[in-house]
Structure 1
Amino acid sequence: MAFHWSDWPDDVLVRLREGSVIPASPLALNADRQFNPQRQKSLVRYYIDAGAGGIAIGVHTTQFEIREKGIYTRVLETVADEINSWAKTEKEKYIIKIAGLLGKTNQAKLEADVARNLGYHAGLLNLATYKDANEDEIIEHCEAIADIMPLIGFYLQPAVGGIVLSSNFWQQFSMIENVIAIKVAPFNRYQTLDVLRGIALAKAENRISVYTGNDDNIVIDLITPYEIRRDNSTITLRTVGGLLGHWAIWVKGAVEILTKCNEGILDESLLSLHGKV
């Protein structure tokens, strides 16, 4: 039976939809460049203490090679255990647990099964292995993984292996009921708008939360109201938070940036902040 986002604890859904800082965690290594679980746990505690609302692991920042070395499950388990250990001391509080999912359908399904069984709330679905596929084939792949657990879409910039995807693709993707968010990271204004247009045309704006992954445009993404025409009306979408490798360090500062952007006060200081970030 599929794990659906409606099965989440209320606090997890609120954290995601109100907007959170979600670091894309790197992999902690020892001096011999081997996985160091204790340091990984320390990194988790740092993120939580700094105010992160979620943690993404097994993603691009973690290094895709964890799959080749056979430690994907171990890394995910280490992070989940530490988050759960913290949660036991904090009644009714949760950290959004996000697992990176990669590969063709069979591999991605195996990874989704691992993540779901370890208690992850959603999978960040990387489509880089589908460069030679058409968009209908990619949608079929996404639907198959969404049958296992809630998905966060990932528009990865082509310069680092991503695929250029149309607004129609994002409309079809947004119509998948178990899609709960999209990380927009094409590093391209027009492609960012394609995602937002797709969400609006799918009438999924109340279900899907938009998170920026555009390292070069974080502040502007967070403060911009995007107006999209649908039928005879205008739909306004906003980027509510960030899921970024850029936010894997200086997390307290990232939380302060998100808070300032959400205050709704637009002045020159925000433009200055954009330039600094």
Structure 2
Amino acid sequence: MAARLAAGCVIPAHPLALDASRALDARRQKALSRYYLDAGAGGLAVGVHTTQFAIRERGLFEPVLRIAAEAAAEHAAAPILVAGAIGRTAQAVAEARIARGLGYHAVLLSLAAWKGATEDEMIAHCEAVAAEMPLFGFYLQPAVGGVPLSAAFWRRFAAIGNVVAIKIAPFNRYATLDVLRGVLEAGAQDRIALYTGNDDHIVADLLTPFTLVHRGVPTTLRIVGGLLGHWSVWTRAAVELQARCAAVRGAIPAELLALDAAVTEMNAAVFDVANAFHGVIAGCHEVLRRQGLLEGIWCLDEHETLSPGQAELLTAVAQRYPLLTDDGFVAANLHRWLS
């Protein structure tokens, strides 16, 4: 698992398929997993924000993780399975144990429940969960509930032996560098795989050689892949884009660098940036609904839906950047995934 993470890949943050009564649609839930894996994704992240945190109070955490694990077992690629773990220590440890029992490889650990806690308390929490499962660290942007975390925190976090990767998603270049600085100062750059969650700079993150100096020695760190809600849609195109970025040696082609802005513009429509991310999950659902993968855009919270004008924005960006979509790939395989 560590070698596959280090090689870099696309890991979609898995949505939740519901029917009109807002009950789990197991058939379409598995179809989504099959889509991602056939598109070339190297893993699946389940039980995360895009899956909707409310699955826990609805008794869906274990069933949803199980469906993805079943789809992964069907697939020849042996994908990396990452489970979201949230809450204080007792809850996160319990969720890690469920994930481990289902064959998951790591837990993406959210610290959103630790607002106001000390750094020592958060590190102790991370160590407790790491005793159960390998950790995929997560710097969530404060705008949607994340906790600001210093370079000193990330140095201590990276020193935990069972940390295998970090999702960097503060949507902030300064904070992104704090993570990189912490990993470097912990001497963990060869052990911890770095993944982008910065949906506003996906391509730039994948292309940038982050050369930092520590104790007089310059070291280049690379973000090798992404664990992204944005990659839960148009996933085949995302796999192709990540591969193009990974293949760059030397000078970066201008046309590839220009895709950073195009992908960011598409993300703004999907994530409903104009309305402070209110329609972020519904935006992902709408793309999948148009492709036939989902029956509707229902969320567990009936108030979560598209914002006014968001549907039109989704249509516009898909028309502007057709090479960043994968409608043809989905149409050709949908019947098989739904079988």
TM class by shorter-chain length? over 0.9
Query: How many residues get paired?
Result: 261
Counterparts of 1:271 and 1:114, CA distance in 2: 41
Give yes or no for the alignment of 1:273 onto 2:262.
no
Equivalent residue of 1:247, what SS?
Answer: helix
What pairs up with 1:126-141 in 2 under 5 angstroms?
126-141=110-125
Q: Which residue of 2 aligns with 1:181?
A: 165
Contact 2:2–2:164, Cα closer than 8 Å, also in 1:
no
Could you tell me how far apart the structure 2 residues matched to 1:14 and 1:38 are?
32
Q: Does 1:76 align with 2:65?
A: yes
Selected match of 2:28 from 30, 35, 39: 39
| Counterpart residue number, 1:198 | 182
Within 2, Cα distance between the matches of 1:45 and 1:190? 37
Distance in structure 2 (CA, Å) of the matches to 1:14 and 1:138: 27
Partner in structure 1 of residue 42 of structure 2: 53
TM-score by length of 1: 0.93
| Structure 2 partner of 1:20 | 9
Structural RMSD (CA): 0.9
- Cα distance in 2 for partners of 1:14, 1:178 equals 14
Residue 247 of structure 1: aligned partner: 231
TM-score by length of 2: 0.76
Report sequence identity in percent.
56
Select 2:215's aligned residue among 224, 227, 231: 231
Task: Report the equivalent of 2:198.
Answer: 214
What code does the residue aligned with 1:100 have?
Answer: G
Give per-residue Cα distances to partners, 1:79-115, cap 9 Å, x unaligned.
Answer: 11121122xxx3xx41000000000000001000000
Residue aligning to 2:148: 164
**SS of residue in 2 equivalent to 1:262:** helix
Distance 1:135 1:227 in 2: 27
> Contact conserved, 2:211 with 2:218, CA < 8 A, in 1?
yes
1:66 and 2:55 correspond = yes
Look up the SS of the partner of 1:184 in the other structure.
Answer: strand
> Counterpart in 1 of 2:106?
122
Partner AA of 1:126 in structure 2: S
Quick one: which amino acid aligns to residue 21 of structure 1? V
Which aligned runs of 4 or more in structure 1 are off by greater than 2 angstroms? 12-15
Task: Please say if 1:85 is aligned against 2:65.
Answer: no
CA distance in 2, matches of 1:113, 1:263: 37
- How many Å apart are 1:270 and its aligned residue? 1.7
Flag structure 1 segments of 5+ consecutive residues without an equivalent. 1-11
User: Partners of 1:218 and 1:53 in 2: how far apart?
Assistant: 17
The CA distance in 2 between the partners of 1:76 and 1:214, in whole Å, is 24
SS across alignment from 2:232: coil
Deviations 1:150-179 (A, max 9, x none): 000000000000010000000000000000
